[in-house]
A and B are shown apart, each in its own frame.
Chain A
């Protein structure tokens, strides 16, 4: 072990929806066979649009959802074998919405101190660690006894980060940590997350649809579409030499005047994201793909190597680029 912190082995999370009376039971394949690993000190970017399963995957990694198939191995042992308190010391999460993610009836101090007390940390040490953590995220000591509504969105997100780090976890899942914040505040939070990562030796899974943010913070990137990984590799490979047409469409969709020349109409995706209840045949991206061929309708491409650490699930992965 030791060289990977988190290993996902063919993890699938399926939900059954509907009832036998109304149109029958269907299976929603929210996450459908994900194999991934995260190494200590690394930041893995997880990119995808709504319905791609990235949030479901995050819940499965934290043990809040039991996978239908496959294994989640965290720090050397299966997630299901650990107690809630043990898991809490290993993996934590920073939420998207800084308003809904803090209990309005709890002071900052209580929000940060309670998890430590649950772990059996003594009173004096709890106080010290709470104050230390507040300082780390850029809040002042007098903030400790205030309630969430007294803070701005950016400050609340700092509290959310402090709460995620108070137990000194090894892995932190950041679920769109800046997309609900004012544009002028985002840089503060991104810088803070990166500083803390180095200072505390954390690993991140950075879930985001904002490719600029993902490129900035990630070491490796996985692109998800409809419950599966369609491309995976180092950040440079994904952003400089994308091989899956979906990755290229995501990049082409970014409205950035400096990139205007690089955007080619050919790379853009068309149409809407299909429902995960009704997956298209063959390659799930084919109805929207500018490169669609007959083979794509019939045969599902597997995630295969483009170069040693770069994988893409596209029949034409070698022709692109």
Chain B
């Protein structure tokens, strides 16, 4: 078996608070193969976004790396210097964020911002870089790119801005694209197009994707493997098809069952939605034992006392539950 492109091992991220430091993320491990799309799913505060920030070397106080290894293409990068990480970002790792307006420079035309990637990372001349920027915009299906390269970010719609972000992120042909809620701010029909575009470009260029989202359906549709996070831990990891068809962790089961799904009502009539009781715990008050136990319908004494480990499932995949059998 060839070495994976990205391996995250036992990642632990600490959040410094007023009085005590808490583990915002602990024991998170996953691997992404070359050209593979991997999804990380969870609700706000579960630690999925800061895991991505850690991979990019963008953690800022009060967050810090407290343990674990991040290996990109055989090279450990968790202790890399700021300068090394800057070289990696853009060239080896591309990024897309939820709100492109905050990631784009409002005072610079978008073409120039894309061209800058070629100048910085590949030493291209500005003339050459601008030509390549136009080509990059054409690849992300921006209409009339020869005019759009002179537009400023505020002159573009949300969908167009996200296309520009994709063009920038993929400009230097990175090995890995990290997409953090890339379509949450977009309308559904535009979202579908952006997702298709990302998938199409990445499979054409052999770029791996780390897709982060709260939308299990979206991620399962696009990724081969999906990990579900809850309260700072991965609770389940399975191939995308299996996670929807046979979720093994009660939290995943709850997520899959609790949302009204199109076509259900026509088939079965209106059923009461299955609720997940309670609320997401705050980071300072994670329950002992299994962190899902106060909300879990199947919780027993052992769940309240002992934190379950990730155990392998016979059909492949991992689940963190005492009662997964």
Contacts and interface: CB of A to CB of B under 8 A. Distances in A.
Asked if chains A and B come from one complex, the reply is: yes
A79 to B, nearest CB: 30
A183 B43 contact: yes
B215 interface: yes
A285 B160 CA distance: 18
Interface in B193-216: 193, 195-196, 214-216
B189 A182 contact: no
Contacts of B301: none
A154 interface: yes
Nearest to A269: B189
Contacts of B270: 216
Contact of B255 (A184, A255, A273): A184
Interface in B39-53: 43-44
Interface stretch (A69-77, A81-89, A233-241): A233-241
B74 interface: no
Contacts of B264: 215-216
Contact of B258 (A184, A217, A236, A253): A184
B244 interface: yes
B192 interface: yes
B189 A250 contact: yes
Contact of A50 (B187, B215, B266, B276): B187
B275 interface: yes
A152 B190 CA distance: 31
B189 A253 contact: yes
Contacts of A213: 260
B48 to A, nearest CB: 12
A25 interface: no
Q: How many B residues touch the partner, as a band?
A: 35 or more
Contacts of A194: 272
Nearest to B276: A184
Interface in B267-325: 270, 272-276, 279-280, 295
Given A259-B262, A268-B193, A183 B279 contact: no
Interface string A46-88: 0001100000000000000000000000000000000000000
Nearest to A273: B187
Interface of B: 43-44, 143, 157, 159-160, 187-193, 195-196, 214-218, 220-222, 240-241, 244-245, 251, 254-255, 258-266, 270, 272-276, 279-280, 295
Interface of A: 49-50, 152, 154-155, 182-188, 190-191, 194, 209, 211-213, 215-217, 235-236, 239-240, 249-260, 268-273, 288
7 contacts: A49-B189, A194-B272, A211-B262, A212-B260, A215-B262, A236-B266, A253-B188
Given A191-B273, A251-B262, A256-B262, 17 more contacts: A49-B188, A182-B279, A182-B280, A183-B214, A183-B258, A184-B276, A185-B279, A186-B258, A212-B262, A215-B264, A216-B273, A239-B262, A253-B191, A255-B221, A257-B217, A268-B193, A273-B157
